[in-house]
């Protein structure tokens, strides 16, 4: 029997899952899958590592597919795979750990109740993350469940880094800059500690640039600032999210345009950012391929906000030893990367543009005061590692900093 760890990232209409074997403290990814169309025309798809892709449409003659049916299908698939599925732990991506959780936590009824109380902080994600937990408890009743939070890595910020300039009562009731993408930042920083231990002890900015985008300032291994705030709307413009916005714009939309909260939510989360500005797409590849001026402007705005925020966070850090770019754009978009990093010699960033064009691991010149790296993030592996570590199945990937 193979001991397995399953990771689950449950959204409103889809669940992403991955399966890892755990043996002698080592994690090996076996498969990555997704159930789409939950509540509608549901489809199951899975790809084994280095192997074939399979999938099927759910038979819905017995009723609609909800999160429970979807995760029961994951268990069925694991069991159909032959040598017996012994799921020893399930790790969940949970967007919000509120002001409390600075580490992953083993889930029980009391923790789950606490996490439900954070639903108003992330209404588009938290309820569905927790529906995934309930469904997994039913599908894998013998396996301990672990919640891994997008906010946890940022929870040791100072009051100054976390507060807004509102009356203190709002901070006390939870209106704070939580910051997100924490699992990605933790993964990247662990890799950095492993591969570049000297840089990892210094002043680092990690730029997670994907469909969601944010920057994190890390000093001696600790997150000290993030461009995201109370929600995942703040900071950089994203694929479909607006990024930093004067709150006066929201008041204007309410008062002059009579827009409801639901309409504004839709505008700011789903129809702004690269998609809204360009009127074409949220996908950087499509914008790069387009001749439309609006496509170029959307990309230029993205670049400008990334540069501005790198500057701001560097000032807070008091210098910058290392900049890491990651996420779909950070790992692949050579031209966007070049525009973010050019003409920054005055700042201490000297880019080797050939290395950038070749997607090398280090893209700064030898001797550049700031070392610039491209590293691939892997949030699923971070969840699997946290789950294994919390359940004492695995030694930490990298020991904690002294």
Q: Which residues are catalytic?
A: 150
* 208: nearest Cα among 313, 352, 344: 313
Instruction: Give the span between the Cα atoms of 144 and 87, in whole angstroms.
Output: 9
Quote the least distance from Cβ 303 to ligand AMP, whole Å.
13
Query: Alpha helix (H) ranges present in 207-292?
Result: 247-255, 261-270, 273-278, 284-289
Number of residues that bind ligand AMP (CB under 6 A): 11
Nearer to ligand AMP, 34 or 350 (CB): 34
Piece of 47-55, 94-102, 277-285, 364-372 that binds ligand AMP (CB under 6 A): 277-285
Nearer to ligand AMP, 81 or 283 (CB): 283
Nearer to ligand AMP, 89 or 210 (CB): 210
* 152: nearest Cα among 100, 227, 230: 100
Structure tokens belonging to residue 46: 């899975």
283-302 residues in contact with ligand AMP (CB under 6 A) are: 283-285
Quote the least distance from Cβ 284 to ligand AMP, whole Å.
4
Quote the least distance from Cβ 113 to ligand AMP, whole Å.
32
Nearer to ligand AMP, 333 or 373 (CB): 333
Query: What is the per-residue DSSP string for 39-89?
Result: TSS-EEEEEETTS-EEEEE---TT----HHHHHHHHHHHHHHTSS-EEEEE
Report yes or no: 322 and 371 within 8 Å, Cβ to Cβ. Answer: yes
* 331: nearest Cα among 304, 289, 363, 302: 363
x-or-dash string of contact with ligand AMP, 316-355, rule CB under 6 A:
-----------xxx--xx----------------------
Instruction: Give the span between the Cα atoms of 383 and 107, in whole angstroms.
Output: 14
Piece of 115-123, 153-161, 279-287, 314-322 that binds ligand AMP (CB under 6 A): 279-287
Instruction: Give the span between the Cα atoms of 93 and 28, in whole angstroms.
Output: 19
Number of residue whose CB is nearest ligand AMP: 328
100-159 residues in contact with ligand AMP (CB under 6 A) are: none
Angle at 239 between CA 48 and CA 329, to 5 degrees: 60
Percent of the chain as helix, strand, coil, to the nearest 5: 40, 20, 40
Q: Identify the helix (H) or strand (E) that includes residue 332.
A: helix 327-332
Quote the least distance from Cβ 385 to ligand AMP, whole Å.
19
Quote the least distance from Cβ 360 to ligand AMP, whole Å.
15
Report yes or no: 314 and 320 within 8 Å, Cβ to Cβ. Answer: yes
Q: What is the layout of strands, in order, in the sheet containing 105-106?
A: 53-57, 43-48, 26-36, 15-23, 2-10, 85-94, 145-149, 105-106
Quote the least distance from Cβ 372 to ligand AMP, whole Å.
18
35-74 residues in contact with ligand AMP (CB under 6 A) are: none
Quote the least distance from Cβ 328 to ligand AMP, whole Å.
2
Quote the least distance from Cβ 241 to ligand AMP, whole Å.
12
Given 104, 132, 210, 235, the residue binding ligand AMP (CB under 6 A):
210
Query: Alpha helix (H) ranges present in 158-221?
Result: 159-162, 168-172, 182-195, 197-200
Nearer to ligand AMP, 41 or 285 (CB): 285
Nearer to ligand AMP, 201 or 270 (CB): 270
| C-alpha count within 13 angstroms, C-beta hemisphere, residue 241 | 17
Report yes or no: 231 and 122 within 8 Å, Cβ to Cβ. Answer: yes
* DSSP H helix total and E strand total for the chain: 16, 13
Piece of 23-31, 41-49, 150-158, 282-290 that binds ligand AMP (CB under 6 A): 282-290
Nearer to ligand AMP, 36 or 283 (CB): 283
Piece of 1-9, 14-22, 23-31, 281-289 that binds ligand AMP (CB under 6 A): 281-289
x-or-dash string of contact with ligand AMP, 233-272, rule CB under 6 A:
------x---------------------------------
Nearer to ligand AMP, 297 or 345 (CB): 297
* 365: nearest Cα among 375, 376, 352, 354: 352
- Contacts to ligand AMP by CB under 6 A: 210-211, 239, 283-285, 327-329, 332-333
């Amino acid at each position: 029997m193979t001991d397995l760890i399953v990771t689950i990232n449950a959204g409103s209409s889809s669940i992403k899952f991955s399966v890892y074997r755990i043996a002698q403290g080592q994690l090996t990814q076996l498969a990555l899958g997704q159930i789409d169309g939950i509540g509608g025309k549901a489809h199951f798809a899975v790809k084994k590592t280095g192997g074939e892709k399979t999938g099927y449409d759910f038979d819905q003659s017995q009723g609609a597919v909800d999160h429970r049916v979807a995760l029961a299908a994951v268990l069925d698939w694991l069991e159909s795979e032959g040598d017996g599925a012994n799921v020893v732990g399930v790790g969940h991506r949970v967007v919000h750990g509120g002001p409390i959780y600075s580490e992953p936590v083993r889930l029980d009824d009391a923790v789950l109740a606490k996490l439900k109380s954070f639903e108003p902080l992330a209404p588009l994600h938290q309820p569905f993350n927790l529906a995934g937990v309930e469904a997994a408890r039913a599908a894998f009743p013998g396996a301990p469940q672990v919640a891994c939070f997008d906010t946890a890595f940022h929870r040791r910020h100072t009051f100054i880094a976390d507060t807004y300039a509102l009356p203190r009562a709002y901070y006390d009731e939870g209106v704070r800059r939580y910051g997100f993408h924490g699992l990605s930042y933790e993964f990247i920083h662990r890799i950095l500690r492993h591969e570049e231990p000297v840089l990892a002890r210094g002043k680092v900015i990690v730029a997670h640039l994907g469909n969601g985008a944010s920057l994190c300032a890390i000093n001696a291994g600790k997150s000290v600032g993030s461009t995201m705030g109370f929600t995942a709307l703040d900071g950089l413009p994203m694929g479909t999210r607006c990024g930093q916005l004067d709150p006066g714009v929201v008041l204007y939309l309410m008062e002059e345009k009579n827009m409801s909260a639901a309409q504004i939510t839709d505008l700011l989360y789903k129809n702004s950012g690269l998609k809204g500005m360009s009127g074409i797409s949220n996908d950087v590849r499509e914008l790069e391929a387009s001749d439309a001026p609006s496509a170029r402007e959307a990309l230029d705005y993205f670049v400008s906000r990334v540069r501005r925020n790198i500057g701001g966070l560097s000032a807070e850090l008091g210098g910058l030893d290392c900049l890491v770019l990651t996420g779909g754009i950070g790992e692949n978009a050579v031209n966007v990367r070049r525009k973010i990093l050019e003409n920054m010699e005055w700042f201490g960033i000297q880019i080797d543009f050939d290395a950038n064009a070749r997607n090398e691991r280090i893209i700064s010149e030898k001797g550049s005061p700031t070392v610039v790296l491209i590293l691939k993030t892997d949030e699923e592996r971070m969840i699997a590692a946290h789950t294994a570590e919390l359940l004492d199945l695995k030694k930490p990937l990298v020991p904690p900093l002294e």
